[in-house]
Chain A
Amino acid sequence: MSFQPVKFYQTGTFTVGNRLLPPEERSVQAQAKRYNSINSGHRACQGCGEALGARYAIDAAMEAVDGQLICANATGCLEVFSTPYPETSWQVPWIHSLFGNTAAVATGIAAALKVKKQQGEPRNIRVVAQGGDGGTTDIGFGCLSGMFERNDDVLYICYDNGGYMNTGIQRSSATPPAARTATTMAVGAEPGNVFGQGKFVPAIAMAHEIPYVATATVADLRDLEAKVRRAMEIRGARYIHILVPCPLGWGTASNETIRIARLAKETGMFPVFEAEHGEVKSVLAIRHPLPVEEYLKPQKRYAHLFGKTPQVEVIARLQELADRNIRKYGLLDGGER
């Protein structure tokens, strides 16, 4: 096990307490010598979960490979807010090519690095590809699946904020049911995004039987770091899918990002687990089971469910989805099935 779930919450609160851990297990971000791969000064919204997730993920990857890292980045909020030149935030070698090809660009980088290694390059340089949910689960899905299927030596990180945020909050195939977006407005007979659509790419990644698949949220940042570290220990195709609340798109307060992410996990709306070669190996257990309303209510994208006549049936359907996750991944008992 690369993380310690018991000690993690030992204070009885949800505080992520470094001081409870031996120094060698403390967060990468807690160290003065952290890499600051995404430096300050970028233009993300206040409380942007994607900026937070990327900062932790890439710094953890840098730490894991002694700074010998190259990043490929899909078009999307992360790319746009981090690079309006000459103010790039990236302290790592970084390339943005297109919206839908990032996994393939990373494959190319990995191939070049492999050849350079054979030519005598002494360093072990590794590759991380990253994109939003749209760039990953929709337009970049072909390239992603190709990279998985060939087991190319790439860690792909998806920052899932449940929509095309950079273009103004449109629906993606990762937008949850009932959520309002600019293209699934809260109007009509079935307001918000419809039920029975969308896909959960971590499960599809597992179906490729790649060496490592994990999900994470920005509520459990040490868990995220540990998963990135674990991923970098492995060669071949790896996938980490991080739930990153988007205050602008979700209609949440910017100081609520971490709490909302935690509620996604604690209600079972977003299962947090690790899988190897297609098999779930561990789950982050729900500590304090909560009804989905707790997660939905603070978000304006679900406001239509809580009007004068609360949409109890819709909320019940969302609860069903959460319950199914809880059963499927064994979220209440830490994966014991």
Chain B
Amino acid sequence: MLKQMEGSRAVAEAVALCRPEVICAYPISPQTHIVEALGEFVKDGSLAPCEFINVESEFAAMSVAIGSSAAGARTYTATASQGLLFMAEAVYNASGLGLPIVMTVANRAIGAPINIWNDHTDALSQRDSGWLQIFAETNQEALDLHIQGFRLAEELSLPIMVCMDGFILTHAYERVDMPTQEQVDAYLPKYEPRQVLDPAEPVSIGAMVGPEAFMEVRYLAHAKQMEALKLIPAYAAEFKSVFGRDSGGLVHTYKADDAETMVVAMGSVLGTIKDTVDEMRAAGHKIGVLGITLFRPFPIAQVRAALQGAQRVVVLEKSLAVGLGGILATNVRMALSALPIDVYTVVAGIGGRPITMRSLHGLFRRAEQDDIDAVTFLDLNRAVVDKQLDRERAKRRSGPAAEAMLRDVGVVAAKLA
């Protein structure tokens, strides 16, 4: 059924349709609306039987999820940013134990400086945690990916992060097609755990594993993620047959045929990129787009196939690997190894800085001339940085940097528009 609603609400309703049995959460913007809605569904009895637990931290949220999943319950939680880092030890533990928890990450920057706005550094910080990671481009896709996520996680006995851009998606009101309970029930079978804490068949879960088997146990996790590369397209196809629309999958190309310049990105910014590319195509530029939906496992073969005809690749990412450049770009480069293709890293939109079509037009045109740095910071105000560097050269006790730079920038909200 078509409905106009907030992205968070749409995700909450979709999660409820998946009949979760235990939900635990700790509030952090921009995840709050999702778990508030689910809490309401549990409290008013429309989502039952289900336990909703208000925990005392994200570390506890993931730990409760570990316990309930190990006891055989379909389990959901959501977080973002600092919350994801606060639970990090348990994030690795959940995947190490092979527990198919579904978690929404309402992507948000990581501090310091504290910042509530969108970028991808939170989810990407957990890229090696053993979780599947999938990025939604629209609210419809966010909703759909949660339904696919439960299916996928439970089939593989691996947890999954469904990542959606904080505020840009979570707080945007858009039209979505909300599936019916019958459709979801037809698509998502009952959860049959591979391992469960059951007095009738006692098992020990989480025992110490030494050098004699550790490598094999970890390789198994890798092998399962490789398996996901096959399973995801199959589940997306099945999803289409039940729900009548394309959602998810590994990667998506846009106007990629004959493209000399390919732009790679994840999440909601793909919309702005496609609009820009439409205008550039109309003006005769040979430029196309590769949207990466699945980040873990990284679809190396599909990325390579999609990009190998290009002369250059511009990876536009909402993350920064300090001291290196890009995270997504590094992964893309691996997919293109030994191919004579220039890969540019463009760090854009971190901490919620708007990525405008005007900036993208300039960036892409310069990239076509190979006139951008290998690591480019889109719309970086270099003068502010230089001023701070000067200050630090001039005076040993130059004081806290972020606060001084903020003062230099001045009242800012109006300037960003």
Pick the residue among B54, B63, B207 that contacts A98 (CB under 8 A): B63
Select from chain B the residue with minimum beta-carbon distance to A110.
B67
Residue A70 is within 8 A (CB to CB) of chain B in the complex: yes
Residue B290 is within 8 A (CB to CB) of chain A in the complex: no
Given A93-B199, A95-B205, A111-B68, check contact A146 B57 (CB 8 Å). Answer: yes
Chain A residues within 8 Å of B66, by CB:
95, 97, 101, 105, 108
C-alpha gap A122/B78 in the complex (Å) = 31
C-alpha gap A270/B410 in the complex (Å) = 61
Interface residues of A in 139-173 (CB under 8 A from B): 142-143, 145-146, 149-150, 152
Interface residues of A in 282-320 (CB under 8 A from B): none
Taking a contact as CB atoms under 8 Å apart, the answer to whether B22 and A150 are in contact is no
Taking a contact as CB atoms under 8 Å apart, the answer to whether A101 and B51 are in contact is no
Interface residues of B in 1-52 (CB under 8 A from A): 21-22, 24, 48-51
Taking a contact as CB atoms under 8 Å apart, the answer to whether A70 and B197 are in contact is yes
Within the complex, the shortest CB–CB distance from A96 to chain B, in Å, comes to 4
Taking a contact as CB atoms under 8 Å apart, the answer to whether B202 and A97 are in contact is no
Residue A131 is within 8 A (CB to CB) of chain B in the complex: no
Residue A246 is within 8 A (CB to CB) of chain B in the complex: no
Interface residues of B in 75-90 (CB under 8 A from A): 75, 89-90
Taking a contact as CB atoms under 8 Å apart, the answer to whether A96 and B207 are in contact is yes
Chain B residues within 8 Å of A94, by CB:
197, 202-205
Pick the residue among B50, B63, B73, B199 that contacts A97 (CB under 8 A): B63
Taking a contact as CB atoms under 8 Å apart, the answer to whether B63 and A105 are in contact is yes
Interface residues of A in 78-122 (CB under 8 A from B): 79-80, 83-85, 88, 90-98, 100-101, 104-116, 118-119
Residue A240 is within 8 A (CB to CB) of chain B in the complex: no
Chain B residues within 8 Å of A29, by CB:
none
Residue A33 is within 8 A (CB to CB) of chain B in the complex: no
Chain A residues within 8 Å of B67, by CB:
72, 95, 97, 104-112
Given A104-B60, A115-B21, check contact A85 B197 (CB 8 Å). Answer: no
Given A97-B97, A97-B206, check contact A109 B70 (CB 8 Å). Answer: yes
Chain B residues within 8 Å of A69, by CB:
199
Chain B proximity mask over A209-226: 1 for CB below 8 Å, otherwise 0: 000000000000000000
Residue A67 is within 8 A (CB to CB) of chain B in the complex: yes
Interface centre among B62, B72, B199 (most CB of A within 10 A): B199
Residue A125 is within 8 A (CB to CB) of chain B in the complex: yes
Chain B residues within 8 Å of A107, by CB:
53, 55, 60, 63-64, 67
Taking a contact as CB atoms under 8 Å apart, the answer to whether A83 and B73 are in contact is no
Given A97-B66, A145-B56, check contact A125 B199 (CB 8 Å). Answer: yes
Given A108-B75, A109-B197, check contact A83 B68 (CB 8 Å). Answer: no
Pick the residue among A70, A79, A85, A96 that contacts B71 (CB under 8 A): A70
A interface: dominant SS: mixed
Given A88-B204, A111-B51, check contact A116 B72 (CB 8 Å). Answer: yes
Residue A68 is within 8 A (CB to CB) of chain B in the complex: yes
Pick the residue among B70, B199, B208 that contacts A83 (CB under 8 A): B208
Within the complex, the shortest CB–CB distance from B171 to chain A, in Å, comes to 28
Interface residues of B in 203-232 (CB under 8 A from A): 203-210, 213
Residue A123 is within 8 A (CB to CB) of chain B in the complex: yes
For chain A, the count of residues having a C-beta within 8 Å of the partner chain is 47
Within the complex, the shortest CB–CB distance from B91 to chain A, in Å, comes to 11
Chain A residues within 8 Å of B97, by CB:
97
For chain B, the count of residues having a C-beta within 8 Å of the partner chain is 45
C-alpha gap A84/B213 in the complex (Å) = 12
Select from chain A the residue with minimum beta-carbon distance to B96.
A97
Within the complex, the shortest CB–CB distance from A71 to chain B, in Å, comes to 9
Taking a contact as CB atoms under 8 Å apart, the answer to whether A83 and B53 are in contact is no
Residue B69 is within 8 A (CB to CB) of chain A in the complex: yes
Chain A residues within 8 Å of B62, by CB:
101
Residue B93 is within 8 A (CB to CB) of chain A in the complex: yes
C-alpha gap A107/B72 in the complex (Å) = 14
Within the complex, the shortest CB–CB distance from A119 to chain B, in Å, comes to 6
Select from chain B the residue with minimum beta-carbon distance to A129.
B67
Chain A proximity mask over B327-340: 1 for CB below 8 Å, otherwise 0: 00000000000000
Select from chain B the residue with minimum beta-carbon distance to A91.
B202
C-alpha gap A95/B66 in the complex (Å) = 10
Given A101-B66, A115-B49, A115-B51, check contact A85 B209 (CB 8 Å). Answer: yes
Residue B59 is within 8 A (CB to CB) of chain A in the complex: yes
Select from chain A the residue with minimum beta-carbon distance to B213.
A85
Within the complex, the shortest CB–CB distance from B19 to chain A, in Å, comes to 10
Pick the residue among A80, A95, A108 that contacts B208 (CB under 8 A): A80
Taking a contact as CB atoms under 8 Å apart, the answer to whether A84 and B60 are in contact is no
Taking a contact as CB atoms under 8 Å apart, the answer to whether B207 and A83 are in contact is yes
Residue B65 is within 8 A (CB to CB) of chain A in the complex: yes
Taking a contact as CB atoms under 8 Å apart, the answer to whether A111 and B202 are in contact is no
C-alpha gap A213/B68 in the complex (Å) = 25
Residue B182 is within 8 A (CB to CB) of chain A in the complex: no
Select from chain B the residue with minimum beta-carbon distance to A105.
B67
C-alpha gap A112/B63 in the complex (Å) = 13
Taking a contact as CB atoms under 8 Å apart, the answer to whether B197 and A93 are in contact is yes
The list of the 4 closest CB pairs from A to B, nearest first, reads A108-B67, A146-B56, A104-B63, A101-B63
Given A96-B206, A108-B73; 6 other pairs, CB 8 A cutoff: A85-B209, A93-B202, A98-B89, A101-B59, A111-B22, A146-B56
Ordered by A's residue number, 29 sampled pairs between the chains whose C-beta atoms are within 8 Å are A80-B208, A84-B207, A84-B210, A85-B209, A88-B207, A91-B202, A92-B202, A98-B93, A101-B63, A104-B63, A104-B64, A104-B67, A105-B66, A105-B67, A106-B67, A108-B75, A109-B67, A109-B70, A109-B71, A109-B197, A111-B24, A111-B51, A112-B68, A112-B75, A115-B22, A116-B71, A142-B56, A143-B56, A146-B60
